[in-house]
Each structure stands twice: as structure tokens, then as C-alpha cells.
């Protein structure tokens, strides 16, 4: 089962991804986690990615696409996975489609988790206090939210046209959000 999870920073994708991958018994592929790990390991790719991540900017498409492509090749992903934070641009979505078509494993579902801008800001400021993430400063948060609106939101229409999109209200409690997600999955019989 191949699922894409889309949502602005602070919508609760991280929390819900963990619950969902446990429930569905599929690997969790978070490009944010993968890039941060490469950064910590200090690999060439990590050093390149760090310049973007630390400024709250999107890492260039070819870099992210190659990281995800390599990961999708691993044996544990042959029966599917949850893609969290990828794709984030139309270019990435088209690359993913081309890759999956070649593999003969189309996407099953795209989940959107939405929340109001006020709520996102509130949650991100709180997360900044708790986690000390380099990219959770007010200026970088604003950039990430603006990139989400201009570069990632157009994907929702793209996936809606393909009949793959389910939009879930991320303003509900975490338990309610997860129940909602489970309902959508059951209704689609995937």
C-alpha cells in the first residue's frame, strides 16, 4: 500500500504518520528525517541539504528525488510505504509518478492534513520551544508556510484530479484525526 501524506508544517503529520505506519505495518519514509540524518552524518548530500534545511528552504528536487528513489528500492518498501513530506512540488510529484509507473505500483491514496494558519503558527512556536529545531524560528517558519502555499498546495488539485485525495481536518484532536484517517482508508478498501 502506497500512501502520500501532505500537510503544512505543524499540521500533525509526524504524529499521525507514526500511528498510521504502525496500524498499516508499512515503513515510514520522512524526507525531513532522512535529510536531517544525512546532515548529522555530515555526508556530502547532508552538507548540501543543510544549507537549505537550516534556512527553511526546500531542498532542490533532484536531490530529494534521488534520496527517495534510493530508499524506495530497498526490499522493505516493495509492498508499499507511507511517504511523509514528499512530494512537495509538482516536479517531485511527476518524478514519483514516473518512478511508480515504471515499477507498476501506482499510488493508492493521498492524505491531506489541514489546519488554520493561526493554529499552525501556535503549534510551530511551541515546537520551537520544545525541540530547538534550527528551522523553527519565526522568519523560517513564515518561509516554510509560504512555500507550502505556493509550491505544495498545487499538488492537492493534481491528486484530486487523479481521484486520490482525501482531506482530513487537522484541527481535531489527535485521536479524532487518526479515527478519521482510518475511516477514509476503510471506505476506499485499500
183 tagged catalytic: no
Strand partners, 29: 83
- Of 71, 127, 151, 184, the catalytic one is 127
Cβ-based nearer residue to ligand AMP, 64 or 177: 64
**3-class DSSP assignment, residue 163:** coil
Cβ-based nearer residue to ligand AMP, 157 or 186: 157
N residues, the chain: 190
Q: Which residues, other chains included, contact 110 with Cβ-Cβ below 8 Å and sequence gap of 6+?
A: 3, 4, 5, 6, 159, 164, 165, 166
CA angle 45, 36, 137 (to 5 degrees): 120
Pick the binder of ligand AMP from 7, 88, 109, 178 (CB under 6 A).
88
Closest contact distance (angstroms) between CB of 121 and ligand AMP is 15
51 tagged catalytic: no
127 tagged catalytic: yes
166 in Cβ contact with 174 (< 8 Å): no
Cβ-based nearer residue to ligand AMP, 58 or 81: 58
Interacting residues with ligand AMP (CB under 6 A): 9, 31-32, 35, 52-53, 56-59, 64, 85-86, 88, 92, 135, 144
Amino acid at each position: 500500500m502506497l500512501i502520500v501524506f501532505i500537510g503544512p508544517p505543524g499540521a500533525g503529520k509526524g504524529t499521525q504518520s507514526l500511528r498510521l505506519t504502525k496500524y498499516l505495518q508499512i515503513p515510514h519514509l520522512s524526507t525531513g528525517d532522512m535529510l536531517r540524518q544525512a546532515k548529522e552524518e555530515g555526508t556530502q548530500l547532508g552538507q548540501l541539504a543543510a544549507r537549505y534545511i537550516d534556512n527553511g528552504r526546500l531542498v532542490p528536487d533532484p536531490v530529494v528525488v534521488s534520496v527517495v528513489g534510493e530508499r524506495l528500492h530497498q526490499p522493505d518498501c516493495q509492498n508499499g510505504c507511507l511517504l511523509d513530506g514528499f512530494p512537495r512540488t509538482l516536479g517531485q510529484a511527476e518524478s514519483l509518478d514516473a518512478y511508480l509507473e515504471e515499477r507498476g505500483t501506482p499510488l493508492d491514496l493521498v492524505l491531506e492534513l489541514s489546519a488554520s494558519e493561526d493554529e499552525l503558527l501556535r503549534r510551530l512556536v511551541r515546537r520551537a520551544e520544545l525541540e530547538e529545531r534550527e528551522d523553527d524560528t519565526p522568519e523560517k517558519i513564515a518561509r516554510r508556510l509560504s512555500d507550502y502555499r505556493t509550491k505544495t498546495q498545487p499538488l492537492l488539485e493534481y491528486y484530486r484530479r487523479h481521484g486520490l485525495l482525501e482531506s482530513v481536518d487537522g484541527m481535531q484532536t489527535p485521536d479524532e484525526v487518526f479515527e478519521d484517517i482510518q475511516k477514509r482508508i476503510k471506505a476506499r478498501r485499500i
